[in-house]
Amino acid sequence: MTQDKKINKSCFNFENTYTNLPESFYSEINLDPVKKPELVIFNEDLAKSLEIDADCLKSEENLEILAGNKKIEGGEYIAQAYCGHQFGHFTMLGDGRAVLIGEQKVSKPIDITKKESDKFDIQLKGSGRTPYSRGGDGRAVLGPMLREYIISEAMYNLSIPTTRSLAVLKTGEKVYREYVKQGAILTRIASSHLRFGTFEYAANYLGKEGVKVLADYAIDRHYPYVKNNENKYLSLLEEVVKAHAYLVAKWQCVGFIHGVMNTDNMTISGETIDYGPCAFMDTYNPDTVFSSIDVHGRYAYKNQPNMASWNICRFAETLLQLINDDENEAVDMAQKVLYKYSDLYYENWLHNMKCKLGIFDEEAMDKAIIEDLLSMMEKYKEDFTNTFVSLTYRKNMDRGMFLTAEFTNWYKNWQERLERQEKSLDKAYELMKNSNPVVIPRNHKVEEALKAADNGDFTVMEKLLSVLSNPYEYREDIDEYRELPQPTDLPYRTYCGT
């Protein structure tokens, strides 16, 4: 490793707390500089929200920070240790190609990740080897880093809790995978990078005291309002259950498929993290899988709610020794909280789906109306997003499912349901317009942008990001972003990008 150099002029306001934990939770990192960093894209609005001086950070000298070439005074430069159940199998992991450079403190709590916080991790992804690289080079390539930028920003604009992307730089180096690729580094923003797997690491290697200090830290950082509760560790579990019941319901209602819902990819804060094999569903099919490594469909669209529950159970197991000294009593107490997940998820899902159909109040038949529509969409292979857009704007209903007697009957029942509300039909359709995105990051449009970027043309990506910045606005000039991909014999597949 080369000798680390430090920059004194700070564009950040770091108030680092993770390094107050025992050293076994992280490893300090010597930087692994890259040859020729070049800024590809910078998120000006996010920088402003983070109270970061964008002009300062984008200067030639300070871009060296985002390239992982130089340290800045006040940074911490660590890789975090964690474990994970990967496709059900427990593994020791850690930040194998990421470095946390510091925690940006802002003047007042903000929700730039759709989770309110006054402190945000600044992490470099693809910055080189760490003690957790497990033989890898610790580098990232341009396509997957731009993909994470596009999808994470789209998720934010869809009002889904998510990590964010501040910048992507090319490194001027080649990275060797199945083909030679362009190296890149992503600057990722999160309210923290505490994962279910961080707790699994503590429980398996650091004992009760290790879990306790981590749990106290997580409570202080994310759920400080529970720290005076009678059993704050049980309350922590309850907050995590609520956060993920909310998050996964939001995923399901926009057709988002994470693709690799391992416990190391689930955050204590309830933010979506790690956008490798993820994608958005086109044709509605509950069995949809995009990840190339999910050969058995463990993380298929229809399985995401149950997989989140499975992961939360693994998290709960790490807290048992804190919840109660009597193991049987601790298990009983935790199970009572865990049993709430299904109901909470269903409540969130039902609320979101009713909003998508303009339903304000509650009737016993609401679930049937929703499920009958989804059943028809599956039967007639209708596009998930465009179906709801058609219903919202009463357009493009002259084909497919919309011409069947089955749909005519459903539509009649739905309209009668809307008319029974105190709210007017105009209000119902206004609710639908605010609940149904017109555009999502269509897989073929994302691939088109990444291919152009790999060839040095970033205008395609910039236009896509502009369209995705206001996903609920209906405009005819963006119809190309609503078009379905050309038919193909091969299913769309995504990869981890490692």
- The pLDDT tens digits of the residues spanning 402-456 come to 999 999 999 999 999 999 999 999 999 999 999 999 999 999 999 999 999 999 9
pLDDT for position 490: 59
Q: Is residue 30 part of a domain?
A: yes
Average pLDDT over residues 53-68: 92
| pLDDT of 129 above 80 | yes
Helix/strand/coil for 279: strand
Burial of 223 (0-12, 13-18, 19+ CB in 10 A): buried
Average pLDDT over every residue of 321-330: 98
| Same-domain status, 81 and 173 | yes
Confidence of residue 6 (pLDDT cuts 50, 70, 90): low
Residue 194 has pLDDT above 80, yes or no: yes
The verdict on 448 and 351 lying in the same domain is no
Total of domains in the chain: 3
Task: Give the residue-averaged pLDDT of 279-298.
Answer: 92
221 and 97 share a domain?
no
Asked whether residue 1 is assigned to any structural domain, the reply reads no
Q: Are residues 474 and 486 in the same domain?
A: no
| DSSP class per residue in 49-74 | HTT--HHHHTSTTTHHHHTTSSEETT
pLDDT at position 369: 98
Work out the pLDDT band at 8, boundaries 50, 70, 90. low
Q: Which residue among 137, 169, 190 closes a domain? A: 190
Is a pLDDT exceeding 70 seen at residue 277? yes
Lowest mean pLDDT among 273-277, 357-361, 403-407, 456-460: 273-277
Percent of the chain past pLDDT 90, that is, above it, reads 90
Residue 498 has pLDDT above 50, yes or no: no
Same domain, 487 and 475: no
- Which one-letter amino acid corresponds to residue 322? L
For residue 184, give the 3-state DSSP assignment.
strand
Same domain, 260 and 249: yes
Q: Which residue has the tokens 């300070």?
A: 62
Give, for 280, the enclosing helix (H) or strand (E): strand 279-280
Does the pLDDT of residue 79 top 80, yes or no? yes
pLDDT at 324 over 90: yes
| Residue 89 domain-assigned (yes or no) | yes
Q: Are residues 285 and 142 in the same domain?
A: no
Q: pLDDT band for position 232 (50/70/90)? A: very high
Domain boundary among the residues 165, 190, 215 is at 190
pLDDT: which is higher, 420 or 292: 420
433 and 454 in a single domain? The answer is no
- Single-letter amino acid, residue 159: S
Distance CA 80, CA 73 (A): 20
Residue 4 is classified by DSSP as P
* Annotated catalytic residue 274: no
Same domain? For 289 and 227 the reply is yes
Kindly state whether residues 448 and 328 are assigned to the same domain. no
Catalytic residue among 32, 95, 121, 264: 264
Dist. CA 420–CA 415, nearest whole Å: 9
In angstroms, the Cα distances linking 254 to 45, 123, 155, 397, 444 are 24, 28, 10, 20, 17
The stretches of 182-263 forming alpha helices (DSSP H) are: 196-205, 207-222, 232-252
Is the predicted pLDDT of residue 1 greater than 70, yes or no? no
**pLDDT at residue 489, rounded to an integer:** 57
Distance separating alpha carbons of residues 158 and 154, to the nearest angstrom:
6
Q: Is residue 487 part of a domain?
A: yes
Give me the pLDDT at residue 329, please: 98
Integer Cα distance of 193 and 165 in angstroms: 14
Residue 2 confidence class, pLDDT cut points 50, 70, 90:
very low
Last residue of a domain, one of 156, 190, 224: 190
Q: Which residues, including other chains, have CB under 8 Å from residue 484's CB and lie 6 or more apart?
A: 282, 283, 383, 386, 442
**Tokens matching residue 11:** 């564009």
Query: How many other CB atoms are found less than 10 A from the CB of residue 495?
Result: 17
Residue 237 belongs to what domain range?
195-438+482-498
Q: Give the separation between CA 440 and CA 448, rounded to whole angstroms.
A: 14
Residue of 116, 345, 158, 401 lying closest to 256 (CA atoms): 158
Angle of the 207-222 helix axis to the 304-323 helix axis, nearest 10: 120
Q: Residue 492's pLDDT band (boundaries 50, 70, 90)?
A: confident
